[in-house]
């Protein structure tokens, strides 16, 4: 008799149900940890006074009446305050206009089609990495835009989603200029350094050299990883099948087709020129709004800040808050210029209808955002993340390591903490008072300690569902998914896990290599004291 083999049915959990399950697990975990009286006391840097404050942090139990009340009553507030939702909708309004008028297709046809796949991948990852200059704009603008450009280049749009997401998430600590991260991290680094040296000062350019180098290195390495490991997993975009039957050649039809091609070509060139002119004017006006002390200028600056970079990149900066909106207006202005000059849109009704067609696929993404926003809000309410960071910091304070072993230990702990607290500022407020003095005692400069945080922050944040923008990544994978099965959270993480692991190795090599070489990390700043 033949033995019967038991076949287990493959069970895929939809991302929406996964977020629901994670929310339930978080609630139960909060109850268990509160019963066990898990808590931590640590010195935290007050963001307002920039002084150390002894902080007792306990786990908040949500598995009770008050917890249930919070979950129900705050659901609307959690969704409304979910940053990816508003930013994504604003950016997509602009992208939809550019797409509906044909601007994106024409741009891809004239520019990106002449670029080979590897160069296109490199440019996507490079721009995505640089985008961290202005917080999280890369997630909401580059992910949908890259999908469209990859599709126009006859590449799987899912590859565009992955390339942009990996570039932003795993290259977050690098950029080519002083940006929001410096402005927000340096006060904490300075306060922590003054625990050892009362006169110590950390400048805004203290990481400039190493982050520029890291941007180039990670973009090149990321391109190799992407093309060699990720691309082979995806099939090419299928070309339209050609009828095998021979057809009689009609010279008149060929002539007419060629004439239409010439006319289309002329219209596209004209439209792109008009879009370019409007784009240049828009950029000039945008730059003008960032110049203080001129008539009707400085509209995007926070004039309460003392320094110019603080006015641009500060916590309450109008530039940062309004950058996504300005990008959207840029796409609207250039898209309309192209559409009007090429007559690709008949009237305002035609434009709106075409935009709605592009936006019609967002239903699942919005649903995903609702459940993701609830999960993230519930997790933050429990204080599990900050408690893990606090406990990790206490563990670090007891170490007697120095040099490379200390650096590796700090990196690993930050990576672990990064899975639960995805904002670098949130971690640094807790960790800086311990990490910076510990490294200074090991002859490692506070500026280099700050860079270690930036690099470590880029290693694993892309694979945690607690990253608010993870939902955009998985949502767009499902929008462009051609398979019958839904892209699960597990599968989405599986796509980028090789990139995550190899890029982590790359970041560690950059840290250790720079430390051993003793090369400058910023203007007049070395890895060691």
pLDDT of residue 72: 93
Task: Please tell me what DSSP assigns to residue 231.
Answer: G
Tokens of 247: 């057809």
**What mean pLDDT comes out for the span 387-399?**
90
Model pLDDT for residues 17-45, shown as the tens digit of each residue = 999 999 999 999 999 999 999 999 888 77
How far is it, in rounded angstroms, from Cα 321 to Cα 90?
12
Model pLDDT for residues 351-364, shown as the tens digit of each residue = 899 899 888 888 88
The pTM for the full model equals 0.90
How far is it, in rounded angstroms, from Cα 447 to Cα 451?
6
Nearest alpha carbon to residue 172 among 469, 492, 517, 526: 469
Q: Can you list the alpha helix ranges (DSSP code H) found in 36-114?
A: 65-73, 75-80, 83-100, 103-110
Model pLDDT for residues 116-155, shown as the tens digit of each residue = 889 999 999 999 999 888 778 889 999 999 999 999 888 9
**What mean pLDDT comes out for the span 201-212?**
91
Bridge partner residues of 41 (DSSP): 56
pLDDT level of residue 257 (50, 70, 90 thresholds): low
Tokens of 316: 């309450």
pLDDT of residue 243: 39
Q: Which helix (H) or strand (E) holds 152?
A: helix 137-152
Bridge partner residues of 43 (DSSP): 54
Tokens of 396: 């670090």
| Average pLDDT of the chain to the nearest whole number | 87
Q: Which of 53-57, 66-70, 185-189, 294-298 has the lowest mean pLDDT?
A: 294-298
DSSP reduced 3-state for 333: helix
pLDDT of residue 10: 62
**What mean pLDDT comes out for the span 194-199?**
90
The percent of residues above 70 in pLDDT, for the chain, comes to 92
- The answer to whether residue 208 scores a pLDDT higher than 80 is yes
* Burial environment of residue 425 by CB neighbours within 10 A (0 to 12, 13 to 18, 19 or more): middle
Model pLDDT for residues 299-340, shown as the tens digit of each residue = 788 887 777 877 887 767 778 778 889 999 999 999 999 999
Q: Which helix (H) or strand (E) holds 223?
A: helix 208-225
* Burial environment of residue 275 by CB neighbours within 10 A (0 to 12, 13 to 18, 19 or more): buried
pLDDT of residue 402: 87
For residue 495, give Cα distances in angstroms to 21, 90, 158, 499: 22, 28, 10, 8
Q: Which of 311-315, 390-394, 395-399 has the lowest mean pLDDT?
A: 311-315
- The answer to whether residue 259 scores a pLDDT higher than 60 is no
Q: Which of 2-16, 182-196, 494-508 has the lowest mean pLDDT?
A: 2-16
Look up tokens 């370019």; give the residue.
Answer: 276
Give the residue, 369 or 318, on which the prediction is more confident. 369
Tokens of 17: 């149900």
């Amino acid at each position: 008799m033949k033995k019967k083999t038991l076949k287990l049915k493959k069970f895929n959990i939809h991302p929406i149900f996964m977020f629901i399950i994670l929310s339930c697990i978080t609630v139960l975990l909060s109850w268990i940890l509160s019963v066990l009286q898990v808590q931590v006391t640590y010195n935290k840097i007050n963001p307002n006074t920039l002084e150390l404050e002894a902080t007792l942090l306990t786990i908040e139990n949500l598995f009770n009446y008050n917890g249930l009340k919070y979950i129900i009553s705050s659901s609307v507030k959690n969704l409304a305050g979910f940053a990816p939702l508003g930013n994504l909708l604003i950016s997509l309004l602009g992208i939809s206009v550019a797409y509906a008028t044909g601007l994106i297709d024409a741009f891809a046809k004239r520019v990106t089609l002449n670029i080979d796949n590897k160069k296109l991948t490199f440019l996507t990852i490079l721009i995505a990495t640089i985008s961290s200059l202005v917080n999280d704009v890369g997630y909401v603008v580059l992910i949908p835009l890259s999908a469209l450009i990859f599709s126009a280049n006859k590449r799987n749009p899912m590859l565009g989603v992955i390339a942009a997401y990996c570039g932003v998430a795993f290259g977050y600590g690098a950029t080519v200029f002083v940006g929001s991260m410096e402005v927000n991290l340096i006060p904490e680094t300075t306060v922590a350094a003054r625990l050892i040296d009362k006169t110590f000062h950390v400048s805004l350019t203290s990481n400039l050299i190493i982050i520029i180098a890291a941007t180039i290195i990670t973009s090149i390495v990321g391109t190799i990883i992407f093309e060699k490991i990720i691309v082979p997993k995806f099939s090419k975009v299928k070309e339209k099948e050609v009828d095998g039957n021979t057809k009689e050649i009609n010279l008149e039809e060929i002539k007419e087709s060629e004439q239409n091609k010439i006319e289309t070509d002329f219209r596209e060139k004209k439209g792109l020129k008009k879009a370019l002119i409007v784009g240049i004017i828009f950029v000039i006006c945008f730059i003008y709004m960032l110049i203080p002390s001129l008539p009707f200028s400085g509209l995007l600056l926070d004039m309460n800040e003392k320094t110019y970079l603080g006015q641009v990149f500060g916590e309450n900066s109008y530039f940062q808050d309004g950058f996504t909106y300005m990008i959207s207006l840029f796409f609207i202005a250039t898209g309309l210029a192209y559409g009007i000059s090429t007559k690709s849109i008949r009237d305002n009704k035609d434009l709106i209808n075409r935009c709605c067609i592009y936006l019609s696929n967002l239903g699942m993404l919005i649903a995903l955002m609702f459940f993701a926003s609830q999960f993230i809000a519930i997790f933050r309410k429990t204080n599990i993340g900050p408690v893990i960071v606090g406990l990790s910091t206490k563990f670090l304070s007891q170490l007697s390591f120095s040099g490379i072993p200390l650096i590796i230990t700090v990196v690993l702990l930050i990576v672990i903490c990064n899975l639960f607290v995805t904002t670098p500022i949130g971690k640094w407020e807790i960790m800086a008072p311990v990490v910076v003095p510990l490294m200074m005692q090991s002859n490692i400069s506070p500026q280099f300690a700050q860079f270690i945080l930036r690099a470590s922050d880029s290693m694993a944040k892309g694979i945690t569902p607690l990253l608010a923008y993870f939902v955009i990544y998985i949502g767009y994978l499902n929008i462009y998914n051609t398979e019958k099965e839904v892209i699960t959270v597990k599968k989405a993480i599986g796509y980028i896990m090789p990139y995550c692991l190899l890029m982590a190795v790359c970041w560690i090599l950059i840290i250790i290599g720079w430390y051993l070489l003793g090369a400058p990390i910023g203007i007049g700043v070395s890895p060691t004291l």
